Amino acid sequence: MPRPRPLVLLHGWTMRGAIFDDLIARLPASLVCHAPDLPGHGALADREPSLAACAQSVADLIETHDLDDVLLVGWSMGAAVAWRFLAEFGADRIAGLVTVDMSPKLGSGPDWPHGLIGQSEADLAATTERMIADWRGMSEAIATTMFGSREGAAGYSRQAALEQILANDPERMIAMWQAMTAMDYRPLIGRIGCPLLAACGARSRVYPASAAQWLAATASRGEMHVFAESGHSPHLEEPQAFADRLVEFAGSL
């Protein structure tokens, strides 16, 4: 009988670890799940909201629980945290990586069409200014674009997402947003030695499917999976299909 595999689930920007509760309930006991709140969010709201601090918190979790052969799953910002972790701490204790609807560089342009949809570097700067001026209005937009449909997912509505977003400190969320707009992990992707599954939603209004396609093609052991009925949040929009694909990937490691 194979020994249980540790699974570390990293949530998206403005969310918290509990966003994975329904997914965890669908997974077999052979996957021992950890879904921490990341710095700046939830129980760690008072911690520094940066990718470096988030990566350190993942390293601390792995060390505290003495985890090996970890399957690391990062949704949106969580994928950026996973990349920062790998850049700083390496993949010695990581068996596999799953990224969910994320790009290693957010700003789009003629030489990089795989960033946020419709967001050039200038657009990102303007978006930041809108966040500073009207966080409530931006929160409405964030909650809407999390899903393929305006209503949200069957088990997690747009209203629930909005309430979660508004529960955060705006200054800390904007600081984390700025950390993500400044990042560029493209050079790292080809150096990731462990298997990488780049997942995305076919109906995503946040990133183009080409981002996952690029990740799968660039990673040395990459593959791609598209969730046909999902937007930016396939673990919420197609939870059983997402759980099944996660189990299949874990079994292949």
* Residue among 53, 39, 52 at smallest CA distance from 11: 39
CATH number of 50's domain: 3.40.50.1820
Phi and psi (nearest 5°) for 3?
Answer: -75, 155
Confidence at residue 3, expressed as pLDDT on a 0 to 100 scale: 76
Confidence at residue 131, expressed as pLDDT on a 0 to 100 scale: 96
Tokens of 165: 């977003």
Mean pLDDT by 10 residues, the chain (253 residues): 86 98 96 98 96 98 97 98 98 97 96 96 95 96 94 94 97 97 98 97 97 98 97 98 98 94
* Residue among 87, 238, 116 at smallest CA distance from 72: 87
Q: Are 132 and 173 in contact (CB under 8 A)?
A: no
Confidence at residue 2, expressed as pLDDT on a 0 to 100 scale: 61
Helices (H), the chain: 21-26, 51-64, 77-89, 121-133, 135-145, 158-166, 170-182, 186-189, 209-218, 234-237, 239-252
- Residue-wise burial string across 232-245, b where 16 or more C-beta atoms lie within 10 A, e elsewhere: bbbbbbbbebbbeb
Confidence at residue 1, expressed as pLDDT on a 0 to 100 scale: 47
pTM: 0.97
User: What whole-number distance in Å separates Cα of residue 245 and Cα of residue 197?
Assistant: 10
Number of domains the chain is built from: 1
Q: How far apart are the first and last CA of the chain?
A: 15
Q: Determine the structural domain holding residue 105 and report its residue range.
A: 5-252
To the nearest 10°, report the CA torsion of 118, 233, 202, 193.
Answer: 90
